[in-house]
A and B are shown apart, each in its own frame.
Chain A
Amino acid sequence: MSESPALYLPTDWRDFVSLTKPRVMSLVIFTGLCGLLAAPGYIHPLVGFVAVLCIAMGAGGAAALNQWWEADIDAGMKRTAGRPIPGGRMRRTDARDFGIALSVASVGLMGVAVSWLAAAILAVSIVYYAVVYTIWLKPRTPQNIVIGGGAGAFPPMIGWIAVTHDITLMPVLLFAIIFFWTPPHFWALALFVQTDYAKVGIPMMPVVKGEASTRRQIIAYAVLLLPIAAAPWFIGGTGAVYGAVAMLLSLAFIALSVPVALRRAGPGDAMKPEKRLFAFSVLYLFALFAALVADRAIYGQGVFA
């Protein structure tokens, strides 16, 4: 038989799991859980678990829809060519149906078990990622990552609202932190994989505006991130533990962005500063949100009181 095995063999269940982008999901679960733990108020542990499960399911559904839509693009890039659809292990329509089912189930469960406000924001985040970002703006504008950052910024906001059932300044600030963190995080990656994006015609910033402009924008976002990351402390939403960690981490982020901003890569460049910044950016987000929860545990539950 000459056609792809996806047409006559059932897809392995592991391929459905990989369709949900488990590595991205780990960051989503972590930030969602931190938003939930840092929020003032009480949530039953089982309801809290369901809230995080729904955030993860929603992210998985959106990731599946993203891969359904971008299968042709993924096939042209080394990093993504082995994914289930371009790898010929899954029918495209199966990915679409799986993505829709997961998304609808996550929103429904969130509404029934946790809160309909959190469910509504989860629905907005899925549509934002799968439609506004993936289908509409990613192939059209080099600002795609800035816009896509919004999708990744929802989880801590949803986690927070699952506890408080209210939208206040704090969850909006948590959203803003990830929103401003995403461009320097992703552009650092795009600088060292830019040949792939150029090949499939995705207008990534380094491809469209050039390397020099991307490097300048990385440092601009890194500088903007400092006051935004420290804002929860400035407005009195957190204690000094979070404030100190946020300042230190953000200063380190700026310090690692400076060499990226000031240099130009030559042919065969190892791109070490860019890789270092990318690796640190992941650590930055984990550490910042861990500090948020630690701060709440220390001040909110009376360890220092």
Chain B
Amino acid sequence: MTPEEETEFKRRRKSRNVVLAAVLVFFVLLFYALTFVQMGR
């Protein structure tokens, strides 16, 4: 892997991790809120 490719590798890995973390946080909050809605049904 060339140095440019390695930089690109790290950039993509980091951005994927950030997006995945955001998706996970979104679903945690969604399930938290859904639990209250379901209890109120």
- Cβ 8 A contact of B1, one of A1, A12, A46, A47: A1
Select from chain A the residue with minimum beta-carbon distance to B34: A113
List which B1-32 residues lie within 8 A (CB) of chain A: 1, 5, 8-9, 12-13, 15-16, 19-20, 30
Select from chain A the residue with minimum beta-carbon distance to B40: A44
Instruction: Report the bound CA distance from A47 to B40 in whole Å.
Output: 12
- A267 CB-CB contact with B under 8 Å: no
Contact A10 B37 (CB under 8 A): no
Q: Which residues of B contact A8 (CB under 8 A)?
A: 1, 5, 9
Most buried by A among B1, B9, B12, B19: B12
Q: How many residues of chain B get a CB closer than 8 Å to chain A's CBs?
A: 16
Q: Chain B interface secondary structure, helix, strand, loop or mixed? A: helix
- A304 CB-CB contact with B under 8 Å: no
- Cβ 8 A contact of B15, one of A9, A13, A47, A113: A13
Instruction: Report the bound CA distance from A46 to B38 in whole Å.
Output: 10
Given A1-B1, A47-B37, the answer on whether A12 and B15 have CB atoms closer than 8 Å is yes
Contact B30 A9 (CB under 8 A): no
- Cβ 8 A contact of A46, one of B8, B12, B16, B37: B37
Instruction: Report the bound CA distance from A47 to B5 in whole Å.
Output: 44
- A217 CB-CB contact with B under 8 Å: no
Given A1-B1, A50-B30, the answer on whether A9 and B9 have CB atoms closer than 8 Å is yes
- A141 CB-CB contact with B under 8 Å: no
- A80 CB-CB contact with B under 8 Å: no
Most buried by A among B33, B34, B41: B34
- Cβ 8 A contact of B12, one of A1, A9, A113: A9
User: How near does chain A come to B30, taking the closest CB pair, in angstroms?
Assistant: 7
- A11 CB-CB contact with B under 8 Å: yes
Contact B1 A10 (CB under 8 A): no
Given A46-B33, A113-B34, the answer on whether A13 and B9 have CB atoms closer than 8 Å is no
Q: Which residues of A contact B13 (CB under 8 A)?
A: 10
Q: Which residues of A contact B15 (CB under 8 A)?
A: 12-13
Residues of B within 8 A of A (CB): 1, 5, 8-9, 12-13, 15-16, 19-20, 30, 33-34, 37-38, 41
By Cβ-Cβ distance, the 7 closest A-B pairs, closest first, are A13-B19, A10-B12, A13-B16, A46-B37, A10-B13, A44-B37, A113-B34
Residues of A within 8 A of B (CB): 1, 8-13, 44, 46-47, 50, 113
Q: Assuming A9-B8, A12-B12, A46-B37, what are 10 further A-B pairs, CB within 8 angstroms? A: A9-B9, A10-B9, A10-B16, A11-B16, A13-B12, A13-B16, A46-B33, A47-B34, A47-B37, A113-B34
